[in-house]
């Protein structure tokens, strides 16, 4: 991919008409040698899919889209109607763009070959936070884009370390629908204008504070954690004004929502390994890698406790990984507990 033009940032301010997502991407590519528009087309396709999913999420109850399809996915989880719909929309729009060589999805048992001559590969979680669909709590879509290798491409080509990502983003279907994107030049938030049907830049250059006030973890898993993680959990709940403790606790149960809040406000999100899930619950390719890319672009950290998430190569499309991300200082404290340096 041609390198985005860093001189574009920060973007110019507009008063009457904001910067659209497409303008933002095109500006970032301006002047880049060998820019063919393929990358912009692919991101436009993803933006279209997100807008279609948004419209169904907003009408889910009315459109008969609550509940299960009756099928079970590759993870043994019951597939929700909206999961299936979101997956079909993304697969269709991305394949039809002609810009994708391989796609991988949480809802597909195997990665899928598309156009072998295309320059990019896409991985996505079509609808993250499925357990929150029926109760009207924020859910989202997570995606990432790699460059396809030169020469022969196969479905295994998508198993790359996150360091090689060209772009990643997520949409949150929350009180507003927002799209947070990084093409490796910082992290930028766009908000969907419902009447215009268009994403406009709402917050450029998001930065994750170096320290935050909240921790985010499923505390119900306490008995299944190792002693080290239990000690960390007790530490963040202990009282010590000089250390800013106790931290507050926030947990939505949708990675997009919990990671989004952590990116904006700082603090820490953790889904560690436990006695029930030796590698945690979250998937490396289409959940941990894109979130790690975004949080690092915003100045934060993402780790499995020992290794940086972006250095880990997925062994298969659905491989899981412990995921701890957020403010640098807060994530470093967690690492010290996990490795026994504290506690």
Query: For binding to ligand AHM (CB under 6 A), which residues are involved?
Result: 106, 125, 128-131, 218, 253-255, 258, 271, 281
Alpha-carbon distance of 39 to 95, in angstroms, equals 14
Beta carbon of residue 271, minimum distance to ligand AHM (angstroms, whole number): 6
* Residue 218 binds which entry of Mg ion, ligand AHM, none, CB below 5-8 Å type-dependent: ligand AHM
* Residue 281 binds which entry of ligand AHM, Mg ion, none, CB below 5-8 Å type-dependent: ligand AHM
CB nearer to ligand AHM: pick between 153 and 325: 325
* Residue 85 binds which entry of Mg ion, ligand AHM, none, CB below 5-8 Å type-dependent: none
CB nearer to Mg ion: pick between 128 and 296: 128
* Residue 130 binds which entry of ligand AHM, Mg ion, none, CB below 5-8 Å type-dependent: ligand AHM
Beta carbon of residue 252, minimum distance to ligand AHM (angstroms, whole number): 8
Beta carbon of residue 267, minimum distance to Mg ion (angstroms, whole number): 20
CB nearer to ligand AHM: pick between 125 and 228: 125
* Residue 189 binds which entry of Mg ion, ligand AHM, none, CB below 5-8 Å type-dependent: none
Beta carbon of residue 212, minimum distance to ligand AHM (angstroms, whole number): 18
Residue 258 binding Mg ion, by CB under 5 A: no
Could you tell me which stretch among 7-15, 87-95, 123-131, 313-321 binds Mg ion (CB under 5 A)? 123-131
Beta carbon of residue 91, minimum distance to ligand AHM (angstroms, whole number): 16
Alpha-carbon distance of 343 to 334, in angstroms, equals 10
Q: Are strands 268-271 and 120-128 parallel, antiparallel or unpaired?
A: unpaired
Three-state SS for the chain is CCCCCHHHCCCCCCCCCCCEHHHHHHHHHCCCCCCCCHHHHHHHHHHHHHHHHHHHHHCCCCCCCCCEEEEECCCCCEEEHHHHHHHHHHHHHHHHHCCEEEEEECCCCCCEECCCCCCEEEEEEEEECHHHHHHCCCEEEEEEEEECCCCCCCHHHHCCCHHHCCEEEEEEECCCEEEEEECCCCCEEEEEECCCCEEEEEECCCCCCCCCCEEECCHHHHHHCCHHHHHHHHHHHCCEHHHCECCEECCCCCHHHHHHHHHHHCCEEEECCCCCCECECCEHHHHHHHHHHHHHHCCCEEECCCCEHHHCCCCCCCCECCEEEECHHHHHHHHHHHCCCCC
CB nearer to ligand AHM: pick between 140 and 186: 140
Could you tell me which stretch among 127-135, 168-176, 212-220, 269-277 binds Mg ion (CB under 5 A)? 127-135
Judged by CB under 5 A, which of 107, 125, 274, 330 binds Mg ion? 125
Residue 128 binding Mg ion, by CB under 5 A: yes
Beta carbon of residue 337, minimum distance to Mg ion (angstroms, whole number): 26
Beta carbon of residue 253, minimum distance to ligand AHM (angstroms, whole number): 5
Alpha-carbon distance of 130 to 109, in angstroms, equals 17
CB nearer to ligand AHM: pick between 183 and 262: 262
Length of the chain: 343
Could you tell me which stretch among 52-60, 118-126, 261-269, 319-327 binds Mg ion (CB under 5 A)? 118-126
Binding site for Mg ion (CB under 5 A): 125, 128
């Amino acid at each position: 991919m041609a390198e985005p033009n860093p001189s574009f940032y920060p973007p110019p301010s507009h008063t009457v008409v904001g910067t659209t997502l497409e303008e933002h991407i095109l500006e970032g590519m301006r002047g880049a040698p060998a820019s063919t528009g393929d990358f912009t087309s692919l991101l436009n396709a993803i933006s279209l899919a997100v807008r279609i999913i948004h419209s169904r999420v907003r009408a889910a109850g009315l459109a008969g889209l609550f509940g299960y399809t009756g099928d079970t996915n590759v993870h043994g989880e019951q597939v929700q109607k909206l999961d299936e719909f979101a997956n079909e929309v993304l697969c269709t729009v991305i394949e039809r763009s002609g810009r994708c060589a391989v796609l991988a999805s949480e809802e597909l048992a195997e990665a899928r070959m598309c156009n072998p001559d295309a320059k990019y590969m896409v991985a996505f979680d079509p609808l993250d936070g499925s357990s929150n669909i029926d109760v009207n709590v924020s859910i989202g879509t997570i995606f990432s884009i790699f460059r396809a290798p030169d020469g022969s491409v196969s479905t295994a080509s998508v198993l790359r370390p996150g360091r090689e990502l060209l772009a990643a983003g997520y949409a949150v279907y929350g009180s507003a629908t927002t799209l947070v994107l990084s093409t490796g030049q910082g992290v930028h938030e766009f908000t969907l204008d419902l009447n215009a049907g268009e994403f406009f830049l709402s917050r450029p250059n998001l930065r994750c504070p170096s320290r935050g006030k909240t921790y985010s973890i499923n505390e119900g898993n306490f008995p299944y954690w190792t002693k080290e993680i239990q000690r960390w959990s007790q530490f963040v709940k202990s009282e010590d004004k000089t250390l800013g403790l106790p931290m507050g606790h926030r947990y939505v149960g949708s990675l997009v929502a919990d990671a989004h809040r952590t990116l904006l406000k700082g603090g820490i999100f953790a889904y560690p390994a436990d006695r029930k899930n030796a590698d945690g619950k979250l998937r490396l390719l289409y959940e941990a890698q894109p979130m790690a890319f975004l949080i690092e672009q915003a100045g934060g950290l993402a780790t499995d406790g020992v290794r940086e998430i972006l250095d880990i190569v997925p062994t298969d499309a659905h491989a899981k990984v412990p995921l701890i991300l957020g403010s640098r200082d807060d994530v470093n404290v967690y690492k010290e507990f996990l490795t026994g340096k504290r506690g």
